[in-house]
Amino acid sequence: MQAEPTRFLTWPQAAAADSALEALIHDLAGRGDNRGALAHHERLPERPARYGELAMPLAEPLAHAVSALGIERLYTHQVQAIEALRGGFDTVVVTGTASGKSLCYHLPVFERLLAGDDATALYLFPTKALAQDQLQSLTRLSSEHPELIRSVRAGVYDGDTQPATRRKLRESANLILSNPDMLHQGILPQHSRWAPFLRRLRYVVVDEMHAYRGIFGSHVANVMRRLERIVRHYGGEFRYVLCSATIRSPGARCASSTTTGRRAANGTSCSGTRRTPTRRASSGAARTSRAACCSASSSRAAPRRWRSRSRASRQSWFTATRANGSNATGSTTRSARIAAATSPRSAGGSRRRCSRASSAAW
């Protein structure tokens, strides 16, 4: 006999359903095998849309393309994001699902590409599927006007991209859709080949920013800081656009994802903060990585010093470590290793003297 879960609520005896969805829910909850499975049911009333107006209207090709998609007016968050990016600010867009966040960065990027100053943009998504979906979205937008078709040269650059297509995108594309892994493994290590693209980089879009958390998020943050350093090396400068629909504290997450956010975390919101060309935090990270590389190279050099020792010296070192309760791979102090390495070869009591010296060192 199986008891009914006490944490669930039974379906209340309500009036007839006033919509097809509520009728479906009522039917599913009323089945015998689903008894008690419905925890809560509530219908939220619709909220009227809030629209805004841009201070400067969109360019004619872009306005025509947006109107052709059935979009007559922009929401307030879209207007605020476009105005912030026009003013040269990093921007974080956090609104509900299906609220038109893509237009918040598509429109400013297309405006810049239409301006004819050879600008480029980089879109980063956590999965390949999202990159393909966004490619279809921006292709649908750009195909509504011939001027956009000529100005926007977009493509997906990920692990599935063929070598010939990669070379074509690297040489001629001005809008690349990729992911942080490909940025780390395929673009930044070959930054000299990407120099023209990085020199003209103006926007970096990081979508689904809530996905970059924990160890993976810290790795992505370091990749973004490396991207900033390389772009500055080639004389470029870009603006961040970070988007999410399910995040509680966007300012704190932005602070942990980019060098800009780290500085903004000192009291300034990451959304709408102007960046200066010089960011000291990234140079400090570079010094840390070089120090780590130096310590790693020193540890790799240790086996060569060990192999250079004589056989008797190695044997006396093993004897000393075993006498002190340590295995052959255990760590010893520097004085113990010196005493073991310099002990006489032929003397019968050399091992005992080495052991006593090591015990004194311990």
Q: Parallel, antiparallel, or unpaired: how do β-strands 154-156 and 91-94 relate?
A: unpaired
Contact 206, 124 (CB under 8 A): yes
How many residues in the chain? 362
> E-strand spans in the chain?
51-52, 74-75, 91-94, 120-124, 154-156, 175-178, 201-206, 239-244
3-state secondary structure of 204: strand
- Angle, vertex CA 223, rays to CA 258 and CA 123, nearest 5: 80
Q: How many CB atoms lie within 10 A of CB 36?
A: 15
Spans of the chain below 70 pLDDT = 1-18, 251-362
For residue 184, what are its two tokens?
């780390």
Q: Nearest 5°: phi and psi at 101?
A: -70, -30
Q: What's the chain's average pLDDT?
A: 75
For the chain, the first-to-last Cα distance in angstroms comes to: 66
In the chain, domain spans: 6-42, 51-277, 309-361
Q: What is the pLDDT of residue 96?
A: 86
- The number of angstroms, rounded, from the C-alpha of 357 to the middle of its chain's C-alpha atoms is 53
3-state secondary structure of 273: strand
Interatomic CA distance for residues 191 and 220, integer angstroms: 17
Q: Is 361 exposed, middle or buried (0-12, 13-18, 19+ CB in 10 A)?
A: middle
Q: What is the pLDDT of residue 312?
A: 58
Residues 6+ apart with CB under 8 A from 305: none
Interatomic CA distance for residues 155 and 131, integer angstroms: 9
Single-letter amino acid, residue 334: R
Q: How many CB atoms lie within 10 A of CB 362?
A: 13
Cα maximum dimension of the chain: 101
Interatomic CA distance for residues 98 and 92, integer angstroms: 16
For residue 40, what are its two tokens?
């809560």
pTM over 0.85: no
CATH ID of 51-277, from 3.40.50.720, 3.40.50.300, 3.30.360.10, 3.60.10.10: 3.40.50.300
Interatomic CA distance for residues 52 and 102, integer angstroms: 17
Q: What is the pLDDT of residue 98?
A: 87
Q: What is the pLDDT of residue 97?
A: 86
Contact 314, 325 (CB under 8 A): no
Single-letter amino acid, residue 139: T
